[in-house]
Homo-oligomer: A and B are copies of this chain.
Amino acid sequence: MKPKRIAIVGASGYSGEELVRLLLNHPQAELVAVTSRQYAGQTLAQIFPRFANHPKAKALRFSEPNADVLTKQADIVFLALPHGVAAEYAVPLLDGGCTVIDLSADFRLRSTVVYKDFYAHDHPAPDLLAKATYGLPEVYREQIKKSQLIASPGCYPTSILLPTIPLLKAKLIKSAGIIADSLSGVSGAGRKAELDYLFVECNESVRPYGVPKHRHLSEIEQELSMAAGESVTIQFTPHLIPVNRGILTTLYLAPEKHFSTTEEMNSLNEKISVCYRAAYGNEPFVRLLEGKALPDTKNVVGTNVCEIAWRLDPRTGRLIVMSAEDNLVKGASGQAVQSMNILCGFPETAGLV
């Protein structure tokens, strides 16, 4: 199969850099263009020394982002841009025949009203929303195969949706009262020169932020509502912790069926296990922890894997589900490449192992 020609627009941020890492080493993709206003003219090797020993890194130079040029160069364009800006590029790229995989929030929501509520400006390209596919392969694999515009999910949403959707679909948990408590590494804030993200401000510090209405709630609730078949509102609290990468999410869920005896608990536990195995038993990038182990970000950092474990609590009647992922891989760039693999007909794990 002829390799696909790939461009990355906005390749100088953390998820852009992670896309570079994955696509430089992808067996069926050829990275042909990387853009960056700031670094235009410089080689990948100069800006990202860690890739400098890759032959292509010395040859490939950052260019100014230009949709017309990209349309001629590339079959597939990844957008690693801020929301609002991504849509501006998507329109001409799609018109020019490119497939677009957007890592921003611009095409994740189906409702322009919700978009404006959470992102505080009118949607820049409302006509495209109907064309976009939410790029969560474990849920939308078939749709991704036929899509020209992938809205790759946010990092927090991935860590919350993967553990929750199968339980909602199977009616094993109530759709009301869901709480997601998430801890994210600092790369989630992007490569931005702001005081809040200086080493000295983050090291030896742990803090919540964006309480109680973080932007990612909009896509989380949209997708949970789809899974539940009814409107879902959740509680979500993100925290910043001093690691480079990784998201750990702890979910507090209410089982549909009350359990009090050990027998009832074991039976419910078995149902959850069956549900998760049916959903993820054959998924290459979801790891169900069924023994004593609990998720730990250090076991997923650098990989496209999401770890999931759960515990029923007989004292409270609740189900606790915990997940871990690398925010830059399964939470961003790895998942975007996974979608690319699916829509190109490549093995889904190509370039991701």
Q: Which residues of A contact B (CB under 8 A)?
A: 14, 25, 46, 49-50, 52-54, 179, 181, 183, 185-187, 191-195, 197-209, 211-213, 217, 233-235, 237, 239, 241-246, 248, 250, 252, 284-285, 287, 289, 291, 293-303, 305, 307, 311-313, 315-316, 318, 320, 322, 324, 353
Task: Note all chain B residues with C-beta closer than 8 A to A179.
Answer: 179, 252
Total copies of the chain: 4
* Central interface residue in A46, A49, A303, by most chain B CB within 10 Å: A49
The answer on a CB contact under 8 Å between B296 and A207 is yes
Q: Output the nearest chain B residue to A46 by Cβ-Cβ distance.
A: B291
Task: Note all chain B residues with C-beta closer than 8 A to A285.
Answer: 53
Task: Note all chain B residues with C-beta closer than 8 A to A250.
Answer: 181, 208, 237, 239
Give 27 A-B contacts (CB < 8 Å), ordered by A residue.
Answer: A14-B200, A50-B298, A50-B303, A52-B287, A53-B287, A53-B305, A183-B239, A185-B200, A186-B203, A192-B198, A193-B195, A197-B199, A199-B199, A199-B202, A199-B203, A199-B244, A200-B244, A203-B244, A204-B245, A204-B297, A206-B248, A212-B311, A212-B316, A233-B316, A235-B252, A235-B320, A242-B242
The answer on a CB contact under 8 Å between A205 and B320 is no
Question: Per a CB cutoff under 8 Å, which of B193, B234, B302 touches A194?
Answer: B193
Task: Note all chain B residues with C-beta closer than 8 A to A203.
Answer: 186, 199, 203, 242-244
**Cα distance A6–B315 in the bound complex, in angstroms:** 41
Contacts A49-B299, A194-B193, A211-B322 given; indicate if A239 touches B248 (C-beta within 8 A): yes
Q: Output the nearest chain B residue to A211 by Cβ-Cβ distance.
A: B311
- Smallest beta-carbon distance A260→chain B, Å: 13
**Cα distance A277–B285 in the bound complex, in angstroms:** 42
